Structures are given as structure tokens and as C-alpha cells.
Amino acid sequence: MFYHLLKHVLLGPLLRLLFRPRIEGLENIPEEGAAIIAGNHLSFSDHFLMPAILKRRITFLAKAEYFTGPGVKGKLTAFFFRSAGQIPVDRSGKDAGKAALREGLGVLAKGELLGIYPEGTRSHDGRLYKGKVGVAAMALGAGVPVVPCAMVGTFEIQPPGQKIPNIRRVTIRFGKPLEFSRYDGMEGERAVLRAVTDEIMYAILGLSGQEYVDRYAAEVKAEEEEARKKARRRTR
């Protein structure tokens, strides 16, 4: 109930007023039945802008840290994210991928929309990074279509580290649904999962026009952070 209050009364109208999103390809979202919406991830604002413009409810898998903050602020943040249709997933440990897969398949089994950012984290520099194969495992495991989505301009309104967003117009593009029934029964094959994921990422790239990096975003961020640490040590 609070999800609809948040979307239609409290937050949704404000977001649409401030950021005046251009919406392209909304007809590609199925009116009913399960589907995955797979998008690029440029900004913290992505979590709220896409749900604000969709007619149907969409559930996202979100990092567990959003739900485990201490004190009153932490509890309010957790309540807000759950109300906004977010499901916490612990991304640490060797079973993190299995947990995300289990939660995602549970949403799809109920015939709902599931939102996924295949890169696994926000882009720290505005480029599009290699997708993780979890999106393919969910699509094949549930037998559902994948609608590629591109958030355009959200990096500029709230780049990583910026708490208060800039007010400017954004564009949200949805591509035609991708269907993978030709791979039925092959969700356990790593090469198939990689091929499906790459096809999804290529579709997102075509919508977003970003520069593509054939590496995982988390790896690149870790390397750049380590390089900065070494540079600081050399200057001491």
C-alpha cells in the first residue's frame, strides 16, 4: 500500500516534476506477466526514477547495506527502500549470487516485473561495463523476456558521491523485449549464460550510447582506488 502512496502521491509526482523524464519505448513493457527490466546503472537516482514512470510495480534487488544502517536513520532508510519495492541482497560471500538468483526468481514466479542492473554496481565514470551472468540465469530459469533499458542523463544529475541531485531533464528508453526460449534447458551452461548476458548488454548499449568497457565495473573501481592509495603514499 505504501508503495502506491509513495509512487502516486509522495515521491513520484515530485520526481516527474523536477526531472521531467522523456520516456521512450514504454509500450515495450508487458502489460501483465513476469519480465525482467535490465538497465544501466549511473546514479543513486535510478532506483526511483524508473519506478516513478512505470504503470506496473517493479521490484529491484538492492544491496543489503541499504537495509542495515544503525539507529533511527538506518531504520527509516530500510523502511523507505522496502516501500519503494527494493529487496535486500547480501553481495558478500561466496553464496551472494545464489541469494540474488533465489530472490529474483521468487519475484518472477509471482508474475511481477523484476528490475536488474547487470553491471552489479553503479558506473563510477559514466561508461557501461561488462554484465554479470545472473540476469541471464534468471531469464532462462524463469523463462521470461528481458526488456533492455537505458537511463540517460542520470549520471549528470547525481554522480557517485553527490548527495543532492542536480535538477535537469533525463531520458529513460526501453527497447524491444529480448526472448531466449532457444536456450531452454541450458541455463546451467556457462557459455550460454555469457552469450545471453552479452546480448542484453549490447541492447542496453544501443539504447544508451555509452562507451563500453569489457571488464567488470567493480574490478576497475578497485584497481583505480588502489592506484590512488599508492599515489597518496608516494606523496607523503
Q: Is residue 127 a part of any domain in this protein?
A: yes
d(CA 56, CA 10): 17
Q: Is residue 67 a part of any domain in this protein?
A: no
Q: Tens digits of per-residue pLDDT, 3-22? A: 666 666 667 777 787 788 99
Q: Is residue 42 a part of any domain in this protein?
A: yes
The enclosing domain of 168 has a CATH number of 3.40.1130.10
Q: Is residue 73 a part of any domain in this protein?
A: no
Q: Tens digits of per-residue pLDDT, 189-231? A: 999 999 999 999 999 999 999 999 999 999 999 999 898 888 8
For residue 19, give the H/E element and its range: helix 12-19
Q: Tens digits of per-residue pLDDT, 50-109? A: 888 898 999 988 777 767 777 776 776 677 677 766 777 776 656 667 888 888 999 999
Parent domain of 114: 2-60+87-234
User: What pLDDT is stored for residue 208 in this prediction?
Assistant: 97
User: What pLDDT is stored for residue 6 in this prediction?
Assistant: 65
Q: Tens digits of per-residue pLDDT, 187-197? A: 899 999 999 99
Average pLDDT score over residue span 17-31: 92
Q: Is residue 80 a part of any domain in this protein?
A: no
Helices of type H across 46-87: 46-53, 71-83
The domain total for the chain is 1
User: What pLDDT is stored for residue 7 in this prediction?
Assistant: 65
Average pLDDT score over residue span 130-144: 96
DSSP assigned state of 131: P
Q: Is residue 122 a part of any domain in this protein?
A: yes
Instruction: Calculate the dihedral angle through the C-alpha atoms of 223, 227, 229, 233, rounding to the nearest 10 degrees.
Output: 150
- What predicted TM-score, i.e. pTM, was given to this entire model? 0.88
Asked if residue 81 lies in contact with residue 62, where contact means CB atoms within 8 angstroms, the answer is yes
Q: Is residue 72 a part of any domain in this protein?
A: no
**Measuring CA to CA, how many Å separate 24 from each of 29, 55, 150?**
11, 14, 10
Q: Is residue 46 a part of any domain in this protein?
A: yes
> 142, 100, 102: which is closest to 117 by C-alpha?
100
User: What pLDDT is stored for residue 180 in this prediction?
Assistant: 97
| DSSP states of 159-221 | -TT-SSPP----EEEE-PPB--GGGTT-TT-HHHHHHHHHHHHHHHHHHH-PPEESS-HHHHH
Instruction: Tell me the pLDDT band of 126, cut-offs 50, 70 and 90.
Output: very high
